[in-house]
Structure 1
């Protein structure tokens, strides 16, 4: 592999179907070359991230992925197994992991980070053997992942998330879930359960305002609301990551949680439906090295989702469920 005076070799894989996947990469490659990185690109038509990463172990020093959160999700396990540092070109619709890492939205600036900023370790989440960067969820968010088409994301960008969400709101119904963590088991009625590894997900939503991708923790929340319209009132808090302060939201931190439902329900990981309940979710500390700033700070504007603001209730988190 590369010595001190030879360029680092990077496997460059770009998802052409991502919202900005058709970007001309000549300028990006120029930034990488000036930073001492030579790119290796797969033949046209070869898009299997897992296979490509494993095939280049021993011949490349790093992997650069261009795309959105779905592209990164598809590569997560292979990156962890290959022990190759990751560089990110945020070319998707939401770019939630890039936002959590404090990466610039501009691809040229992101390439500069890859070339100049050392890789640092971050955590991964794992649910039923499926790795994820941002969040695993069941309920409303998983239904939204099924409703949100690639065409809608391509045409409307992050606003597409809001459009699809409003379509689903009236159909949202509470379901029963058993939550097992840290020696306790609770059964509640909820609209959505989310288990976050990073800070952001779902096109600008925030799992928890102080979450980071390298704290060795999962951030859990459950929206135990009685009516669908309550979700509208919660939207501002969900964008800020302060929903855990609300009386009808259960929130806690853990390293492992098991979710069980009466019937199997799909699990959404980083916008992709990848498995079903029962869902065993755990954190994998320091599983992947990523070229990103030392202190993750969101620098992407949240999508403009119209919703009324609301004062967070003063009742403490972790209270008994409002449902019998």
Structure 2
């Protein structure tokens, strides 16, 4: 977690927020666990009662999200306002990509299944509670990860994990969004055969070694690491990213890793290796000019090599005034 004392010297929230800033809310009705009508009604009621100036910019498909987020950033810059992302992890990610480096504060009303990013900074998932925090917030500059210049807030990955996410979305569309559905889809995915990746990993510009692994995950969230049982929370607090690889290839071994992860004992698994870094470059040894990657639950394809690093720009995030609300790892 970012050090609050040093951050406030970079960006003093008491001088940046007057309380009169208009809010430009980008709401993805197709995102996360949103009940679009109920969430919109709550936002309109709470903000109207508070007398806050706002514009709710609602989208119904992911394809509209980036363009709408850019428009919200432009309006916020013109009117000294704040951009607020309303939705799951993918929505927060898309809006953060547009906000980063634009000198515009960002708030979130998180609606994702696990809400690791919001919980890390004390932002509740309940919409009305999150709005109450937003209306009495301070700015905290926080670290975000970059994968080839694309922002990720929680994690980015290649290999098995993107496939798990693709299958999970299929099951969620069919059976609804819940943690049991997510677990069942993961078990079904692991039953299939998986190709191991052969990767060359360079750390801080120096060759490290070749790696054979079914998955590579890079994490920027100390709370998620703690819940997986990976003892590298201090590395995140020191502004590093944490990478995890697995040497397990068989289905039974992968089942074992999944169970350990659910029991927060992944760090005890002898087939799991974790390490922290500032900059890491990943290059496939064979073929794969473009690789399937997942960032905060959203899947895309990117050209190799893949470079992971902490962004030199921090994200000016609106967080609750009371630091006791943070969920410490």
- TM-score bucket of the superposed structures, by smaller chain: 0.7 to 0.9
Match of 1:37 among 44, 52, 77: 52
2:90–2:297 Cα contact (<8 Å) kept = yes
Q: For residues 4 and 96 of structure 1, what CA distance do their matches in structure 2 show?
A: 25
1:20 partnered with 2:34: yes
Q: For residues 157 and 185 of structure 2, what CA distance do their matches in structure 1 show?
A: 17
1:97–1:133 Cα contact (<8 Å) kept = yes
Q: For residues 264 and 119 of structure 2, what CA distance do their matches in structure 1 show?
A: 14
Give 1:63 shift.
1.1
1:58-137 equivalences under 5 Å are 58-137=78-157
Q: For residues 197 and 74 of structure 1, what CA distance do their matches in structure 2 show?
A: 16
Q: Which secondary structure state, in structure 2, belongs to the residue aligned with residue 17 of structure 1?
A: coil
Q: For residues 49 and 201 of structure 1, what CA distance do their matches in structure 2 show?
A: 29
Q: For residues 200 and 245 of structure 1, what CA distance do their matches in structure 2 show?
A: 17
Q: Which secondary structure state, in structure 2, belongs to the residue aligned with residue 37 of structure 1?
A: coil
1:217 partnered with 2:217: no
Residue in structure 2 matched with residue 266 of structure 1 by the alignment? 292
Match of 1:173 among 192, 195, 200: 195
Q: For residues 44 and 177 of structure 1, what CA distance do their matches in structure 2 show?
A: 38
Q: For residues 35 and 234 of structure 2, what CA distance do their matches in structure 1 show?
A: 29
1:106-165 deviations in Å (ceiling 9; x for gaps): 111111111113120111111112111111101111112222326615713233321221
Give 1:258 shift.
0.9
Give 1:93 shift.
3.1
Q: For residues 95 and 160 of structure 2, what CA distance do their matches in structure 1 show?
A: 25
Q: For residues 252 and 5 of structure 1, what CA distance do their matches in structure 2 show?
A: 42
1:217-236 deviations in Å (ceiling 9; x for gaps): 10111011142222222235
2:235–2:276 Cα contact (<8 Å) kept = no
Q: For residues 207 and 7 of structure 1, what CA distance do their matches in structure 2 show?
A: 42
Residue in structure 2 matched with residue 288 of structure 1 by the alignment? 315
Q: Which secondary structure state, in structure 2, belongs to the residue aligned with residue 173 of structure 1?
A: coil
Residue in structure 1 matched with residue 70 of structure 2 by the alignment? 51
The alpha-carbon distance between structure 1 residues 81 and 207, as it changes in their structure 2 partners (threshold 3 A), is farther
1:212-261 deviations in Å (ceiling 9; x for gaps): 87642101110111422222222354346653443211111111111111
1:295-310 equivalences under 5 Å are 296-297=326-327
Give 1:206 shift.
7.2
2:106–2:318 Cα contact (<8 Å) kept = yes
1:198–1:211 Cα contact (<8 Å) kept = no
1:196-217 deviations in Å (ceiling 9; x for gaps): 1123669x76776626876421
Q: For residues 211 and 72 of structure 1, what CA distance do their matches in structure 2 show?
A: 25
The alpha-carbon distance between structure 1 residues 138 and 214, as it changes in their structure 2 partners (threshold 3 A), is same
Bigger fraction of residues in helix: 2
| TM-score, normalisation: structure 1 | 0.79
Alpha-carbon RMSD: 3.1
Q: Which secondary structure state, in structure 2, belongs to the residue aligned with residue 94 of structure 1?
A: coil
Residue in structure 1 matched with residue 11 of structure 2 by the alignment? none
Unaligned runs of 5+ in 2: 1-14
Unaligned runs of 5+ in 1: 300-324
Residue in structure 1 matched with residue 222 of structure 2 by the alignment? 199
Give 1:86 shift.
1.6
1:230 partnered with 2:257: no
